[in-house]
């Protein structure tokens, strides 16, 4: 499994041909699937095929910015198709609040279910918590980028 972590459950989903996870999207960079413990009407995860542990491993580089942008566009496309009449939200957990050490974009068609789940997806400012996808893109936008 090149570019994979043998013990990572998400790497296993990406690289194991016997995985039972139903993929909603797959391309050369990412795969998407339903969260096993959904927190909203629709709750999808978009993950890179290459193992990237967390948002803290992303830098102001074209390749990181391009990857997160692509993850977001895949998530938006899926929710526009599956839940067009709802409010959508996209973001990442930041350490130490991430449950799996493999970068994954949460894609929600709201409302949260049950409603208290909103707490799990709140920003905690300097302490981490949840970061909206657009805010992460602002943080990692290459300084010389024209994107």
Residues identified as active-site? 106
Residue 40: CB atoms within 10 Å:
24
Instruction: Tell me if 53 sits within 8 A of 96, measured CB to CB.
Output: no
User: E-strand spans in 95-143?
Assistant: 105-112, 129-132
Helices (H) and strands (E) in the chain, counts: 3, 6
Burial class (CB in 10 A: 0-12, 13-18, 19+), 136: buried
Please give, one letter per residue, the 3-state secondary structure of 35-77: CCCCCEEEEEEEEECCCCCCHHHCCCCHHHHHHHHHHHHHHHH
């Amino acid at each position: 499994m090149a570019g994979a972590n043998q013990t990572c459950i998400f790497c296993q989903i990406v690289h194991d041909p016997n995985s039972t996870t139903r993929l909603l999207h797959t391309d050369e960079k990412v795969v998407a699937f339903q969260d096993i413990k959904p927190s909203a009407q629709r709750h999808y995860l978009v993950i890179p095929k290459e193992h990237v542990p967390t948002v803290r491993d992303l830098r102001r580089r074209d390749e990181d910015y391009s990857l997160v942008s692509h993850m977001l566009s895949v998530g938006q496309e899926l929710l526009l198709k599956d839940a067009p009449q709802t409010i959508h939200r996209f973001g990442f957990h930041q350490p130490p609040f991430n449950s799996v050490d493999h970068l994954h974009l949460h894609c929600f068609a709201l409302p949260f279910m049950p409603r208290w789940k909103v707490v799990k997806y709140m920003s905690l400012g300097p302490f981490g918590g949840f970061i909206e996808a657009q805010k992460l893109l602002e943080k990692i936008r290459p300084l010389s980028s024209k994107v």
